[in-house]
Amino acid sequence: MAGKNEYTPVSSKIQKIIRHVPGEWTFRFTYVGPVKPGQFFEVSIPKVGEAPISVSGIGEDFVDLTIRKVGKVTDYLFDNYDEGDSLFIRGPYGNGFDVEDFEKGEIIIVAGGTAVSPIRGVVQHLCRANPADTHLIAGFKSPDEILFKADFAEWEKLIDVTMTVDGAPEGYEGRVGLVTQYIPEIPIRDISACKAIVVGPPPMIRFSIIELVKRGFNEENVWISDSRKMCCGMGKCGHCRIGGKYVCIDGPVFRYTEHRALID
């Protein structure tokens, strides 16, 4: 007999919605089960479609999915669902981050925009497990688009946080500039052993890694998180394949040395 039908989505209640900015909200979905930062769920709206969304927070009985309103499914979600409503999810899928790998030694995390989601859980873990040696550089397009403000306020008390925006109106007091320009400024004791996680839009990842390598980072110590069109989440539909790898099952987290051999 055929096994379990993994395509069947499971009903889940929206416990809470955090409206960061107009087009970017975190939905807290009821979920009990194993899940890791960097993994993703398919948010499944019957008759509308499914969208792969990475996990931005993990709790006892929930997962947070931070969602950008950019397509048919997410438009429908933003326009029709509120706290207390139920919809469907399936997952988690993908490998995710093994947070234990980053508990020892120095680590620098570079994140851009919505891509803070997959590393939020990693940062939360390291705030507890390795606060002294954790450095976070987060970049957003503008002050209006900064996500997870409350989290950043918390994190700043525990770890080294560099928050920057690409551009800002006159009078903005925070840092302005691309994440890449802050990479050389992060104080690192042993560059060759320092680990790095880079998440964000493809060009940001590319230029951040150039900066890291310039500083003498060992490429073997760099992780990235990728994303592609992922219809099934289970290595069947084929859309997310790059070369011999399926982003949905072999990723989305890759070692940089493995990922650079994957050419679209």
Residue 71 within binding range of other proteins, rule CB under 8 A: yes
Contacts to other proteins from residues 24-63, by CB under 8 A: 45-51
Tokens read off for 181: 């320009």
CA angle 132, 212, 133 (to 5 degrees): 5
Toward other proteins, which CB reaches closer, 7 or 172? 7
Residue 88 within binding range of other proteins, rule CB under 8 A: yes
By CB under 8 A, name the one of 16, 104, 214, 229 that touches other proteins.
229
State which amino acid sits at residue 169.
Answer: P
By CB under 8 A, name the one of 39, 56, 225, 227 that touches other proteins.
227
Burial class for 241, CB neighbours closer than 10 Å (0-12, 13-18, 19+): middle
Residue 84 within binding range of other proteins, rule CB under 8 A: no
Q: Which helix (H) or strand (E) holds 251?
A: none
246: alpha, beta or left, given left = phi > 0 and alpha = psi -120 to 50?
Answer: beta
- For CA atoms 179, 183, 185, 187, give the dihedral sign: positive
Toward other proteins, which CB reaches closer, 11 or 156? 11
CB 226 to other proteins: min, Å: 11
What's the Rg (C-alpha) of the chain?
18
Residue 2 within binding range of other proteins, rule CB under 8 A: yes
Summarize as ranges the residues that interact with other proteins (CB under 8 A): 1-9, 45-51, 68, 70-74, 88, 227-229, 231-232, 234-239, 241, 243-244, 246, 248-249, 261, 263-264
